[in-house]
Structure 1
Amino acid sequence: MGEMVASTLAQEGVSRVFSSISTKLDDRASRAHNVRRLDIALSRMEYAFERTAKMPITCVSLLRRWKMLMSAYNEGVHLLNKHKLPAALEGHAETGQVVVRSSYYYLQRIATAAYFSLSSLASGLNKQQCLSSSVVQIFEGYADSADKFVADVESACPLRRDTFFPYPFVRQLLQGRSFIYPVRVEGSLLLFGMNPVVLEGRGVEACIWYKRFYSERLDGLLLVLRLSESTDIVGAAIDCVRSFASLLNLPAQEAIIGHLTQLPNLQEISDSYAPPRVRFEKNFASLSTGLRPDPLCCQRVGHGPSVNGTNSSELSHLFQEQIIYFSFSCYVSALEYNLPSTSDEALRLNVGFSPHAGHFSISFVAEAMRSKYEHFPFGSIEQTVDMTRSRSVEFLIGQPEVKDYTVFWKSRHGHAFFEVVKPRIDMAAVPKASGSRYNTRSAAAKRKRS
């Protein structure tokens, strides 16, 4: 009788051992299957990103969808690598090798997608000990959305359909063509330049610049904005100039506005193609990302985040939402600038606005003069302009040795700077056109004779 009991117990023990082994094998197979499914889903998303990377996306809704898909993709790669490591350890235990395939696309893109953070979905998934089929289904749904995203981008591509463009040169800009166009107007040499760049996740952005050489002086304008087939480039530039002049209580800059209004009439500008500058695209991408880390901020609500209940995004109300950066350089007389000067002395005014920049955890105003750098309590942009005007009077007029005065306005959402300079007359010159190059010999000789 005792022998029978012992035999029964032994059989039950063996059965439990085999059952446990079988369960572990099934669990391992199921986990490996789910890992493969997740890997395939992520590869489908990679294809969508690669397929659309250089396509001119001009619809903000598509850029917003790209952002959501990229966030989900980052979560999926994080989850995949977490569950691949144990599988690799088990699969290669005998040889001592560990193989974990990280996504090449993820490694390539993680720097440009750095502003995406893992959502609560990833936080919840990371706490799970196993990769369930239901979790994989979520990412397979994302992969389906990525397939639809590719189709929508292709159908919405402005270069593949009969689309109205406000100016003849907009189509060339969306094709990635750059322009440099010189023209002489009333004794002034004008240079217009346009440099577009297609940036993944940001759409098409363009750098528009203007320079005017006249009477041994130089005015300049630089505008960086997101571009679409309906963008009124000239209108946006004129709006920026007027906003700047109104903010600083300066004359309306009618001469420059008049030159900008002539730009749509320059029909032959489409033949003024210029090759892109060396490393321009890479440098532009770095600059644009720094000036507007989130390309879709303020797109819906028209302003950025608030700080302590106070709106800290004043610049996004002064400039159109698609404006990334605007700077302007011009000469103003001491009388125009309300300086107590006995002569109508010319001063150089340089200003710059980044409506969506935000690199600081606090808002502040800083003053730079010679080697001194001093902080002031944060105030509105109008208060900072008043401070710039009054203190530049104090230093530039009261202290002749001071040649420049700069104020930086840094909010948590939007930056600006204002610089007033006493120009060195011997450094100002009107360049003379000579093919594609300019020189100042004639201007220097003229000053020498006088």
Structure 2
Amino acid sequence: MVTSAVVQEAVSGAVSFLFSSRGEKASQEELIERMEMAHMRLNLALERTRMMPITIMTLFCLKKKLKDVSEECGDLLSRARGRQQMVPSLRRKIMHTVLPSFIVPDQDLLSSSVVGRFERFVKEAGRFVRDVESGCSLSHYRFLSSPIRHLLQGKGLRYDMVRGSKAFSLGISTDSVEEYGRVAWLCFHYKDRKAPLKTCRLVVALRLYESTNIVGITAKCLRSLGPQFKSLVEDATGELSHLPTQDVSYFDSVWCEGLVELTTESIPDPFCCIANGLSKPCASNIISSELTGRFPQEVMSVTFCSCFSASEYCSRSSTDEARINAIKAWPPLQMEVIFLPHISDEFPDGSSLHQKEEQIQTEAIDCFINQPGMTDYRMHWFSAHGYVSFSVSKPIAKTRRASKRRR
């Protein structure tokens, strides 16, 4: 009697399981179809906006969120399909009903609430596409200032000014880089024939937003270079602040493929320091360094070139007259500093960036004195979030003998 009761219960449970399994399978197939449609819609939104220039920081964060949701949807959909392909035998179904404790539990299945969540994201993706498209329309830019409006439309900018002994030039090229939006390459050159040591060149790679102040960012980058460039920066910043926008000329920007590569190398994570539409020390929660916050979030790289007199620098830092006299014949030394605020390094430098900035000129002069044949001196600074490269070069002075031979 006990055996008969167990068998009857097992058969009844098996039949019930078979019918419920059929209903479950039909329900899962419908949910999988809805998930497939949601996944395609999410990918469609990302594909449509792939090469559209995004000019608002918050839209970058929204795009990153939709991309993560699309990947999550694809992974869950793949697991659900694999679950549907595993059709157990009748014997396994009966054993599953009779001896549930000895069978591995079913994998997670789709539910209406789970699928509904992704379908809600599809609606957000549609709004995202409309926001990006409206931001790309020409009518949208009519409210912006003239320089940023032309740059966001893909134009380049050029301005040249000569006043007395001073010459000033500003050039900007732009292009749209996937995942980075509209990117600009800015070159600022300042020269004074009466004061050659005031000649400098600043190159900045930055992302463009509707709120970007080109002149303000360039001036801030100049002021962030360090105290040793203070007097030089004040003159260059003064000229830059009086930039007459009505005299600026625009042209169809031609982008170099090498600059696109530089963009991805300068900031490997396109969403570094961007979270929820706001700037923060680092999206990866890396400990901030001396370089964090020195430059605006939009800035990806800064290169600054200038000249300085070794004899004048030594006269301020040394009382050794023999040393000063030994380098009076040197031509001005050329210095280049490259800042990459978003590069991370696993082995940060233990020294201070401020110390490196104070040491570079003195150490370069010492090296050139001790090794007369050396013409280049380099120094690097690494941090958990930021990298700086210093380079000082000594031009080879032309002797009178060499000039006579050429004659």
Q: What is the TM-score with the length of structure 1 in the denominator?
A: 0.70
2:395 & 2:276 partners in 1: Cα distance?
38
Residue of structure 2 in register with 1:405 after alignment: 377
Could you say if the C-alpha distance between residues 268 and 320 of structure 1 is closer, same or farther in structure 2, counting changes exceeding 3 Å? closer
2:157 & 2:177 partners in 1: Cα distance?
19
Shift of 1:418: 1.4
Tell me if structure 2 keeps the 8 A contact 1:292–1:356.
Answer: no
1:386 & 1:152 partners in 2: Cα distance?
48
Residue of structure 1 in register with 2:140 after alignment: 161
1:64 & 1:331 partners in 2: Cα distance?
41
Structure of larger gyration radius? 2
Shift of 1:401: 2.0
Pairing 1:308-347 to 2, within 5 Å after superposition: 312-338=288-314, 341-342=324-325, 343=328, 345-347=331-333
Could you say if the C-alpha distance between residues 80 and 423 of structure 1 is closer, same or farther in structure 2, counting changes exceeding 3 Å? farther
2:200 & 2:77 partners in 1: Cα distance?
55
Shift of 1:85: 3.0
Shift of 1:88: 5.0
Shift of 1:353: 1.2
Moved more, 317-326 or 292-301: 292-301
Unaligned regions of 5+ residues in structure 2, if any? 89-105, 316-322
Could you say if the C-alpha distance between residues 172 and 325 of structure 1 is closer, same or farther in structure 2, counting changes exceeding 3 Å? same
Could you say if the C-alpha distance between residues 194 and 149 of structure 1 is closer, same or farther in structure 2, counting changes exceeding 3 Å? same
Could you say if the C-alpha distance between residues 128 and 180 of structure 1 is closer, same or farther in structure 2, counting changes exceeding 3 Å? farther
1:281 & 1:353 partners in 2: Cα distance?
16
1:293 & 1:247 partners in 2: Cα distance?
31
Residue of structure 2 in register with 1:234 after alignment: 215
Does 2:154 correspond to 1:176? yes
Tell me if structure 1 keeps the 8 A contact 2:155–2:174.
Answer: yes
2:240 & 2:160 partners in 1: Cα distance?
13
Higher relative contact order (CA 8 A, sep 6+): 2
2:296 & 2:232 partners in 1: Cα distance?
19
Alignment-mate amino acid for residue 382 of structure 2: K
Tell me if structure 1 keeps the 8 A contact 2:379–2:389.
Answer: yes
Shift of 1:198: 2.5
Residue of structure 1 in register with 2:335 after alignment: 349
Could you say if the C-alpha distance between residues 250 and 267 of structure 1 is closer, same or farther in structure 2, counting changes exceeding 3 Å? closer
Residue of structure 2 in register with 1:116 after alignment: none
Unaligned regions of 5+ residues in structure 1, if any? 92-126, 365-377, 427-445
> Tell me, what secondary structure is at the counterpart of 1:290?
coil
Shift of 1:282: 4.2
Tell me if structure 2 keeps the 8 A contact 1:306–1:313.
Answer: no
1:400 & 1:142 partners in 2: Cα distance?
66
1:21 & 1:248 partners in 2: Cα distance?
82
Shift of 1:411: 0.8
Pairing 1:376-387 to 2, within 5 Å after superposition: 378-387=350-359
Alignment-mate amino acid for residue 352 of structure 1: I
Within the candidate set 70, 73, 79, 2:70 is matched to 73
Tell me if structure 2 keeps the 8 A contact 1:196–1:204.
Answer: yes
Could you say if the C-alpha distance between residues 318 and 338 of structure 1 is closer, same or farther in structure 2, counting changes exceeding 3 Å? farther
Could you say if the C-alpha distance between residues 87 and 346 of structure 1 is closer, same or farther in structure 2, counting changes exceeding 3 Å? same
Does 2:255 correspond to 1:276? yes
Residue of structure 1 in register with 2:348 after alignment: 363
Shift of 1:329: 0.9
Alignment-mate amino acid for residue 312 of structure 1: S
2:393 & 2:126 partners in 1: Cα distance?
55
Residue of structure 2 in register with 1:393 after alignment: 365
> Tell me, what secondary structure is at the counterpart of 2:232?
coil
Tell me if structure 2 keeps the 8 A contact 1:196–1:207.
Answer: yes
Tell me if structure 1 keeps the 8 A contact 2:55–2:181.
Answer: yes
Identity of aligned residues (%): 28
1:315 & 1:145 partners in 2: Cα distance?
36
Root mean square deviation, CA, Å: 3.8
Does 2:247 correspond to 1:267? yes
Shift of 1:21: 2.7
Could you say if the C-alpha distance between residues 319 and 327 of structure 1 is closer, same or farther in structure 2, counting changes exceeding 3 Å? same
Shift of 1:146: 1.5
1:403 & 1:256 partners in 2: Cα distance?
28
Shift of 1:223: 0.5
Shift of 1:448: 8.6
Residue of structure 2 in register with 1:415 after alignment: 387
Shift of 1:247: 3.8
Shift of 1:327: 0.9
Instruction: Name whichever structure is richer in helix by fraction.
Output: 2
Tell me if structure 1 keeps the 8 A contact 2:35–2:73.
Answer: yes
2:126 & 2:182 partners in 1: Cα distance?
22
Alignment-mate amino acid for residue 48 of structure 1: A
Residue of structure 2 in register with 1:193 after alignment: 171
The size of the alignment, in residue pairs, is 371
Shift of 1:54: 2.9
1:187 & 1:211 partners in 2: Cα distance?
14
Tell me if structure 1 keeps the 8 A contact 2:273–2:281.
Answer: no
Tell me if structure 2 keeps the 8 A contact 1:291–1:325.
Answer: no
1:404 & 1:35 partners in 2: Cα distance?
64
Residue of structure 2 in register with 1:134 after alignment: 113
Q: What's the CA shift string for 1:30-80, capped at 9, x where partnerless?
A: 222222211111222122212322333222222222222222222111222
1:138 & 1:175 partners in 2: Cα distance?
36
Tell me if structure 2 keeps the 8 A contact 1:302–1:317.
Answer: no
2:386 & 2:113 partners in 1: Cα distance?
43
1:403 & 1:414 partners in 2: Cα distance?
27
1:299 & 1:159 partners in 2: Cα distance?
23
Could you say if the C-alpha distance between residues 276 and 225 of structure 1 is closer, same or farther in structure 2, counting changes exceeding 3 Å? closer
Q: What's the CA shift string for 1:260-300, capped at 9, x where partnerless?
A: 34644463512x334333x3574254234338662516974
Could you say if the C-alpha distance between residues 173 and 162 of structure 1 is closer, same or farther in structure 2, counting changes exceeding 3 Å? closer
